[in-house]
């Protein structure tokens, strides 16, 4: 059971919140008392997500935000402050992932730049705009959403480099922001059941055998970790990386299976 008061009075801005991890995180914050700005480049989907929360009696608004555009980011941050009176939590969830070319030398500059600009520089833009307001709140927190791709090889060169960079940004920003009373942490999901897997559900479910805990992740698994790091329960945690991946980066399942087959 969630604590319906843990984020009472908090203003929360989440990027890429129209669906998947972002939408689940918006709901979790709202269920725990927060006022949530659901932002996404897909404005109709963001509006639908926010309306769904309001139908549950929760407090949420939608706002179009392209994290690739500084003015759009500034407008979203200002909207959160104007609507809620403060901005206490920023969740950088928006990302962009371009499928790899068959050969590395066929990767284009534009594809590389797109993944880095949205996934990494987008988080930078949002944190830059939000930080003064987070510092003013007295309980500010930034939670960045990374990926196991940023820790080890799961493919996707540009996306993985961007997620690895997000880990570094988390640590350096945590060092800077600590003196201003703002905590900055990173959640690293493994494979999660989101809209990106629509039409490939059988392939997704087959991955459960790769995970020591026997299943792929659900958006709610990641939302729980994000809200923990944003809460006062994590008041002495900053600059950390919380891996939420069913054990896949800790246990080499393929090697273990090979060893069992040879024993």
Asked whether the beta carbons of 120 and 186 are under 8 A apart, the reply is: no
The stretch 213-231 carries a mean pLDDT of: 97
Is residue 259's pLDDT more than 70?
no
Rounded-to-integer distance, Cα 176 and Cα 71, Å: 24
Rounded-to-integer distance, Cα 195 and Cα 112, Å: 23
What pTM, to 2 d.p., does this model score? 0.95
Query: Looking at residue 196, what is its pLDDT?
Result: 82
Assign a CATH topology to domain 11-262.
Rossmann fold (3.40.50)
Q: What is the pLDDT of residues 183-201, one digit of tens each?
A: 999 999 999 988 888 878 8
Reported confidence tier of residue 258, pLDDT bands at 50, 70, 90: low
> 257 — phi, psi (to 5°)?
-65, -40
Query: Looking at residue 23, what is its pLDDT?
Result: 98
Q: What is the pLDDT of residues 31-89, one digit of tens each?
A: 999 999 999 999 999 999 999 999 999 999 999 999 999 999 999 999 999 999 999 99
Asked whether the beta carbons of 232 and 183 are under 8 A apart, the reply is: no
Asked whether the beta carbons of 116 and 161 are under 8 A apart, the reply is: yes
Asked whether the beta carbons of 193 and 152 are under 8 A apart, the reply is: no
Residues with catalytic roles: 159
Q: What is the pLDDT of residues 138-180, one digit of tens each?
A: 999 999 999 999 999 999 999 999 999 999 999 999 999 999 9
Is residue 222's pLDDT more than 80?
yes
Distances in Å between the alpha carbon of 63 and those of 54, 59, 142? 15, 14, 19
């Amino acid at each position: 059971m969630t604590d319906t008061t843990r984020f009472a009075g908090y203003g929360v801005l989440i990027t890429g919140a129209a669906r998947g991890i972002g939408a689940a995180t918006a709901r979790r914050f709202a269920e725990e008392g927060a006022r949530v700005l659901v932002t996404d480049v897909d404005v109709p989907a963001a509006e639908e997500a926010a309306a769904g929360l309001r139908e549950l009696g929760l407090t949420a608004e939608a706002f179009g935000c392209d994290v690739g555009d500084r003015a759009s980011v500034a407008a979203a941050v200002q909207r959160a402050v104007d609507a809620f009176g403060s901005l206490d939590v920023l969740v950088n969830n928006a990302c962009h992932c371009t499928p790899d070319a068959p050969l590395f030398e066929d990767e284009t500059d534009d594809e590389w730049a797109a993944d880095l600009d949205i996934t990494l520089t987008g988080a930078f833009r949002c944190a830059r705009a939000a930080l003064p307001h987070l510092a003013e709140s007295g309980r500010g927190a930034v939670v960045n959403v990374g990926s196991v791709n940023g820790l080890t090889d799961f493919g996707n060169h540009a996306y993985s480099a961007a997620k690895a960079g997000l880990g570094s940004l988390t640590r350096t920003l945590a060092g800077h922001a600590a003196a201003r009373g703002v905590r900055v942490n990173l959640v690293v999901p493994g494979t999660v059941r989101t809209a990106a897997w629509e039409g490939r559900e059988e392939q997704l479910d087959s991955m459960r055998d790769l995970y020591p805990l026997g299943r792929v992740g659900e958006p709610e698994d990641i939302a729980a970790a994000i809200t923990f790091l944003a809460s006062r329960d994590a008041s002495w945690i900053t600059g950390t990386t919380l891996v939420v991946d069913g054990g896949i980066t800790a246990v080499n399942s393929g090697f273990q299976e090979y060893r069992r087959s040879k024993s």
